[in-house]
Amino acid sequence: MKDDDSIERERMRAKAWFAALTENKSDIEECAKAGDNNAILFLGNCYFHGDGVPRDKMKAVELYKRASSLGNAEAMHNLGICFHNGDGVKQDKRKAIELWESALPLGHAKAAFNLGLCYFNGDGVQQDKRKAIGLYERASSLGNAEAMFNLGICYNTGDGVPQDKKKV
């Protein structure tokens, strides 16, 4: 049996998703104020892209930070993108990598792929193609098509792995 707080959280989550589907901004804001991490993420995306609100990347970053602190892997990923690219914050690739690493145990495929790119290219970290391949494999196992494509290229060319045309 669920307690009243649990039921209320589920009600707010359902309301947030319904609001997102119907783009009812006042319902999304209500759910975000109540602490629903998905509503906070959705509102952050709205501010980042200027969907239904004035574009405000600094406000988006604020919301992504809040949703991240509540354990939202997509918010961690989006915040990592902001730090990697310097969108709404001072560029900090190390912080981006930390955020993507935090999203890994939560099964976020795109975070694994982005980390793979960083390690493959030495972007913000020391280049480590072996680690990159492992991250591409993880992202692939989670269904990320970009990682599958990059793995195919690596196996086709032998870049970071022994060349293996059968694995392509």
pLDDT of residue 19: 59
User: φ and ψ at 19, to 5 degrees?
Assistant: -60, -40
CA 21 to chain CA centroid, nearest Å: 20
Q: Is residue 1 scored above 50 in pLDDT? A: no
Q: Among 24-33, 99-108, 121-130, 145-154, name the one with the lowest average pLDDT.
A: 24-33
User: What does the pLDDT look like over 103-138, one tens digit per residue?
Assistant: 999 999 999 999 999 999 999 999 999 999 999 999
Q: How far apart are CA 115 and CA 109, in angstroms?
A: 10
Q: What is the mean pLDDT of residues 144-168?
A: 88
* 146: region left, alpha or beta (phi > 0 left; psi from -120 to 50 alpha): alpha
pLDDT of residue 25: 67
Q: Among 19-28, 37-46, 88-97, name the one with the lowest average pLDDT.
A: 19-28
Q: How far apart are CA 13 and CA 56, in angstroms?
A: 24
29, two tokens? 């804001």
Average pLDDT of every residue of the chain: 88
